[in-house]
Amino acid sequence: MRFKSIFTNGFGILISRITGLGRDILMASALGASLWSDMFFIAFKLPNLFRRIFAEGAFTQAFMPSFIASRHKGVFATAVFLRFFLFLMAFSLIITLFPEPVTKLLAWGWDSTLIQSTSPLVAINFWYLDLIFIVTFFATLLQYKEHFATTAISTSLLNISMILSLWLYMKEDPKTVAYALSFAVLIGGVFQVCVHLLAIKKLHLHTLLLGGWKYRKHKEITKEKRHFNTLFMPGILGNSTPQISAFIDTMLASFLASGSISYLFYANRVFQLPLAIIAIATATALFPAISKALKNSDEKRAYENLDKAFWILCFLLGASMIGGIVLAEPIVWLLFERGKFGLSQTIETVDVLRMYMVGLLPFGLAKLFSLFLYASYRHLKAAKIALYSLITSVSASLLLMHPMGASGLALAGSLGGFVLLFFTIKEVGIDKFITIIQNKKSLYFIIFMLLFYLVIDLLNRWLLTLIR
């Protein structure tokens, strides 16, 4: 197993997530959980959704197998890039001209005045989609060369740009802060593109793209593009259930009390930290190797990687899940309770965080097992499984949002994670899953979880006496 790649990718993501938390801490202090914070999060929601869908594997897992199999890699890559980039440019232009319908789609429960105030922010933030697609496309080529560091750490450039805008404008009125953050998103995206261009040139991948541009009308590429098309949409749906579910939750939260969207955002940011550093870093590092192994009919090597990665994720995500549930209040207090983010906002965010953390282990393991579906071109099956999960989470959201508020939406998402894991394992092979868990490590895992809970619970009791 490629521990060096996993560590490099995980460390880069850790740096990005730490700067992201720093950004959110400043944002909570400047805007709190208020109407203006809700407005910015709505505006940032769609580009952030696509950032997670593209950057955290969905595009890569559709593109990578086709790219590996392609006989004309440069031509194929250029053709895919041009199609997506031109479409996104046109789409962004339409949103700039007519932002209010999209804003209404993002916040169904808001009145026309709020929609009108938020729509300019939506128009500004939407251009980040174009930039993040360029970043993701370059990142996939770098992953093919098993270079992960640039992409993993590049998100920190976005966060640093937003941190600087908060530092400069934090004492201004909330409207000015929201606009400053929106423009900072675009500046950060430009920096992300620049560092990827440097990495592409360093690994001499620019010659591949230039050659692809020169021969972009190659006749044999049509079949490869058609094959990619059959994988892309199922791949996007199949790999993006948590993001789509969170996106729908944001829309539903617009019908709840003011601040609900912000509670979901802040809690989800904490939830995404271990998910990204552990599960997404592992899956991203393993995917090129598993794709190449399955293409070469070396299933034994592919499943050896799965077995080792499974237990790494179980112990690390299991500990993170217990820690997040038990230590939710000290975590939220430490990160966010300052400035305009008070005790009542902390209590609400704690409830949401605990419900999110319930789904950490199933979402992380589903991410791992789904690699085999994408590497073996079973994208349509992965999409069907994701649809089952999405139906579960949305149905549960509608049932739980009124009795439980924002925390009910978070719990519904976690329930969808269990459904996603069950059907993914079933498709990969129940027999292979049983083979993995019929191991003394299962007993070690149970003992570890019990002991870890006891230690964390004692720590939580002590911390609560200090902070309250």
Residue whose pair of structure tokens reads 């929601």 in the numeric block = 45
Q: What is the pLDDT of residue 3?
A: 56
Quote the number of domains for the chain. Answer: 1
d(CA 292, CA 296): 6
3-state secondary structure of 219: coil
d(CA 119, CA 104): 9
Q: Which of 79, 74, 24, 426 is nearest to 225 (CA)?
A: 79
Angle between helices 221-239 and 379-404 (to 10 degrees): 30
Q: What is the DSSP string of 227-286?
A: HHHHHHHHHHHHH-HHHHHHHHHHHHHTTSSTTHHHHHHHHHHHHHHHIIIIIIHHHHHH
Q: Is the distance from CB of 331 to CB of 324 less than 8 angstroms?
A: yes
d(CA 22, CA 313): 26
d(CA 222, CA 220): 6
Q: What is the pLDDT of residue 424?
A: 92
d(CA 185, CA 190): 9
Q: What is the pLDDT of residue 417?
A: 92
Q: What is the pLDDT of residue 26?
A: 84
How many angstroms separate the Cα of 317 from the Cα of each of 37, 328, 364? 30, 15, 7
- Residues spanned by the domain of 399: 3-467
H helix count then E strand count, the chain? 21, 0
Q: What's this model's pTM, rounded to 2 decimal places?
A: 0.71
Q: Is the distance from CB of 411 to CB of 404 less than 8 angstroms?
A: yes
d(CA 265, CA 270): 9
Q: What is the pLDDT of residue 301?
A: 73
Phi-psi region at 438: left, alpha or beta (left = phi > 0; alpha = psi -120 to 50): beta
d(CA 242, CA 248): 10
Which mean pLDDT values do the consecutive 10-residue runs of the chain (468 residues) have?
60 77 81 76 76 63 73 78 86 89 77 84 90 88 80 85 90 86 93 92 80 58 68 68 75 82 86 80 69 69 76 89 94 84 88 94 88 76 87 93 91 93 91 86 92 94 83
* Residue 199 CA neighbour count, 13 Å, CB half: 26
Q: Which residues contact 262 (CB under 8 A, 6 or more apart)?
A: 31, 32, 33, 34, 37, 38, 41, 345
Q: Which long-range contacts (CB under 8 A, 24 or more apart) does 437-445 make?
A: 441/311, 445/311, 445/314, 445/315, 445/318
